[in-house]
Amino acid sequence: MKPIRYTIVPKHPAAHIFEVTVTVAEPDPSGQRFMLPVWIPGSYMVREFARNIVTLRAFNDAGRKVRIEKTDKHMWQAAPVKGALTLRYEVYAWDMSVRAAHLDDTTGFFNGTSVFLSPLGFEDARCVVDIQKPAGPQFRNWRVATALTEARGTKRYGFGEYTAQNYDELIDHPVTLGEFALATFKAHGVPHDIVIAGRVVGLDMARLSADLKRVCEAQIALFEPRSKKAPMDRYVFMTQAVSDGYGGLEHRASTALICNRSDLPVVGRDEMTDGYRTYLGLCSHEYFHTWNVKRIKPAAFATYDLTQENYTSLLWLFEGFTSYYDDLMLVRSGLIKEADYFTLLGKTIGGVLRGSGRLKQTVAESSFDAWVKYYRQDENAANAIVSYYTKGSLVALAFDLTIRAQTQNRKSLDDVMRLLWQRYGRDFYRGKANGIEESEVEALFTEATGADLSEVFAEGVRGTRDLPLEALLEPFGVKLEADVDAKAKPSLGARVRNGADCALAAVHDGGAAQKAGLSAGDVLIAIDGLRVTGSNLDALLSRYVPGAKVEVHAFRRDELRVAQVKLDGPDVSRYKLTSNNKRASASSARKRWLGK
């Protein structure tokens, strides 16, 4: 089979237009069909990338136009041709996220799912993509960052031809174009690039390299304690630094990240800021996916169907466990202290316990409905859904602590991850491998550890009861308690939108606002006759005690209403975890859990 050839040119950076061509040497004689994915693996929402295709034409190998028509929202059908068929189309790229494509005169970025049409029937054909430099002297110093394989004649970081074994590989390698900061380190012998696009003053690439090396080596050693063999030949962390943004998307040999430029380390300042810890946690999270979801997959993803939703109730395992390990690997590799780890854990616990949705939806249900619920949250989300990320990470914690307690610390969740890796992970991209079925998960956990985990499965995965974290943490010398600020103000039982107005973003089930008939979207005007705004609400409430009755004037749409609100107690948003060394056995158990 001849390779499918693509070219991609940043044609009009000012208009955010990539021009793309795809040439099929031996198209389907009955008329070649093409499709563009409706979603990108890792981000479980139908995004309809084809809506950004602006113009599209087809040509035969004599350069004559060939008739082509759309057959549905993301498919095209060309008329039969003799010889090769080429499509030329423009893609509008103005999405500064990790999920789609972006182009202006400072940076270009694309995922293959946004720009490369797939000729149907050629999914297994080799792909060659010619990545071209934009025209103009201002682009002279632009380079290319990607984990795609360079074709012969293309220099690393250079424009030119890159190759992929098939379409699946082509779209699993995002590409960054532009002038970017670059550093390379080796983790257990494998080269890892750090690419930072966007303007960042005083960026400490040496510290980034040293810190990420520790995270990567710890993760490689977790999955391959003996051989320390990484599952890829090369890895690229590509980050777009912006004023305000956060996110990442995992790929088999790279990750695309977006972060606040203020989160990145500054030369000469060695403190661990909250922002930098968040960034390292994000890198750690996406890197862990190199195994968990990119090579160990749920059966539903063992080949992706890119034309529609792919349902699995296992995202608690693939996202939740990854969320558990992201910060855990920071403390285990010594980048953050035990106390910092407990602060992060306390925040996660607070976040999960705040929403009453946790009592209505299981993490398995949340996984299954990710496409229409978790990824499409509205004002009622906290009352209706639970996050398979945060609750999933607490389920992982419950598994880990239960296994450790039952086996006198001989086994842990690490053994589960390793067995998953050995059984389902090997050679995923070199031969056919199966994903894990939901029905196989529980037996595998038991096989890996010998522990009885039926209760964690019943309550944590398939149930909605709160996890007994207090009791689970006790044998490790850790005390868990609500972190209540004695001076905290009473609350409306609602979340207020940021802004000049005091508008309710969400109203909590059973909270003061809901009981008084206030709703998300209502704009509060006055509390007991005093004007309330987005900035003075806290000051007004701080003069009352919980249980006090206040009169609230509010607009719903353009209608004024009056509500009698009985104030709630302070919101508990955080939990405090404190450790003690009174019992030697508990201290040593904790060391085995959090230590190197």
Q: Which is nearer to Zn ion, 170 or 317 (CB)?
A: 317
Q: Count other C-beta atoms under 10 Å from residue 546's C-beta.
A: 14
Q: Give residue 131's identity as a one-letter amino acid code.
A: I
Residue reference for tokens 């050629």:
122
Helix (H/G/I), strand (E/B), else coil: 145: strand
Residue 61 CA to residue 41 CA, distance in Å, equals: 34
What tokens were used for 10? 């940043």
Tell me the C-alpha to C-alpha distance, in Å, between residue 375 and each of 93, 381, 491. 22, 10, 28
CB closer to Zn ion out of 160 and 247: 247
- Measured distance CA(300)–CA(303) in Å, rounded: 7
- SS3 assignment, position 554: strand
Residue 185 β-bridge partners = 192
Residue nearest to Zn ion (CB): 319
- Rounded Cα–Cα distance for residues 18 and 11 (Å): 5
Residue 256: CB minimum distance to Zn ion, A: 12
Q: Which is nearer to Zn ion, 319 or 400 (CB)?
A: 319
Helices 584-594 and 390-406 cross at an angle (nearest 10°) of 130
Return the amino acid letter for 115: V
Pair of tokens at residue 34: 């093409």
CB of 373 to Zn ion, least distance (A): 17
- Mark 85-124 with x for binding to Zn ion (rule: CB under 5 A) and - for no binding: ----------------------------------------
Q: In terms of CB distance, is 4 or 293 closer to Zn ion?
A: 293
Comparing CB distances to Zn ion, the nearer of 319 and 415 is 319
Q: Which is nearer to Zn ion, 122 or 421 (CB)?
A: 421
**Judged by CB, which is closer to Zn ion: 204, or 319?**
319
How far apart CA 350 and CA 160 sit, in angstroms, is: 50
- Listed in sequence order, the residues at least 6 apart from 590 whose beta carbon sits closer than 8 Å to its beta carbon are 338, 476, 477, 478, 579
Minimum CB distance to Zn ion, residue 103 (Å):
26
Q: Which is nearer to Zn ion, 116 or 389 (CB)?
A: 389
| Cβ–Cβ under 8 Å, residues 514 and 495 | no
Nearest distance from residue 356's CB to Zn ion, in Å?
Answer: 25
CB of 250 to Zn ion, least distance (A): 6
Nearest approach in angstroms of CB 289 to Zn ion is: 6
Please work out the total of residues on this chain that contact Zn ion, with binding judged by CB under 5 A. 1
Q: At its nearest, how many Å lie between Zn ion and the CB of residue 285?
A: 6
411-435 in b/e form (b: 16+ CB < 10 A) is bbbbbbbbbbbebbbeebbeeebeb
x-marked contacts with Zn ion along 359-398 as a string, rule CB under 5 A: ----------------------------------------
| 556-560 CB contacts, 8 Å cutoff, 24+ apart | 556/519, 556/521, 556/522, 560/525
- Give the shortest CB-297-to-Zn ion separation in angstroms: 13
Nearest CB to Zn ion, comparing residues 113 and 402: 113
Sign, CA dihedral 138-247-336-216, equals: negative
Query: Minimum distance from CB of 362 to Zn ion (Å)?
Result: 19
Nearer CB in complex with Zn ion: 250/571: 250
Shortest reach from residue 221's CB to Zn ion, in Å: 21
Interface with Zn ion in residues 302-331 (CB under 5 A):
319
**Where does this chain bind Zn ion (CB under 5 A)?**
319
